[in-house]
Amino acid sequence: MSIIEIKNLTKIYDGSGFEVKAVNEIDLSFEKGEFAAIVGPSGSGKTTLLNMLGGLDHPTSGEVFVDGQNIWKLKSGKLTDFRLNNIGFVFQAYNLIPVLTAKENVEFIMHLQGKSKKERDSRTRELLKAVGLEERMNSRPSRLSGGQQQRVAVARALASKPKFILADEPTANLDSKSTETLLDIMEHLNKEEDITFIFSTHDARVVKKARRVITIEDGKVKTDEVR
């Protein structure tokens, strides 16, 4: 059974007297353990698609199922809880809380889940070690490079033990070395721990690593290549 199933998904925005179909009747499914990239030019609909997969942007029509649960049938509070416990997010802008240390940023989602201090400490150390930042756990974001901040963001995304990770242009603000390090870490986590990653990206380096590449143009799936 697919971990994610999208049926007839559509998102329409009202422009100045006309409608724009950002996502146009898309059908897709993803299996556990995929390392997939959604690619396409600016305005093609890939970020909108990712946001609807993650319960962040409400579709105009269509359905998104995660492990058989239609997430857009959930009421607002239930959807928030569902995101918290099932979906990890990595954003282009890192979105770390500046007044918190790396450790505290990773722990934050587990606070929301009501995890014990012992469990939070153990998992945070495990995750920061996995992304090569165990020695920087007490540093605030301003003391970390862009690449290090994004690695903290990956650790934070994994903290809740989600069913899958959605990464929206995660390498856009990184130099080549930081990008290579980040992608190696995510690829390792994908292969060794069977963690599902779905990227929205322009970056050829991400596309090269992906084992499935879905090309979106004008809100529709143009190609879907499994490597």
Dig out the tokens for 102 from the structure.
Answer: 């790396």
Q: Establish if 107 belongs to a structural domain.
A: yes
Task: Count the neighbouring beta carbons within 10 Å of the beta carbon of residue 41.
Answer: 12
Q: Establish if 12 belongs to a structural domain.
A: no
Sign of CA dihedral 206, 207, 213, 215: positive
Q: Establish if 163 belongs to a structural domain.
A: yes
Residue 58: what are its φ and ψ, rounded to 5°?
A: -75, 130
List the end-to-end C-alpha distance of the chain, in Å, as a whole number. Answer: 20
Sign of CA dihedral 134, 138, 141, 145: negative
Dig out the tokens for 218 from the structure.
Answer: 């004008």
Domain count, the chain: 1
Q: Establish if 59 belongs to a structural domain.
A: no
Whichever domain contains 147, its CATH number is: 3.40.50.300
Q: Rounded to two decimals, what is the model's pTM?
A: 0.92
Q: Establish if 18 belongs to a structural domain.
A: no
* Residue range(s) defining the domain that contains residue 182: 35-45+76-226
The per-residue pLDDT string of the chain (227 residues; one tens digit each, 9 = 90 and over) reads 689 999 999 999 987 778 889 999 999 999 999 999 999 988 899 999 999 999 999 999 999 999 999 999 999 999 999 999 999 999 888 899 999 999 999 999 999 999 999 999 999 999 999 999 999 999 999 999 999 999 999 999 999 999 999 999 999 889 999 999 999 999 999 998 899 999 999 999 999 999 999 999 999 999 999 98
Q: Establish if 57 belongs to a structural domain.
A: no
Q: Establish if 214 belongs to a structural domain.
A: yes
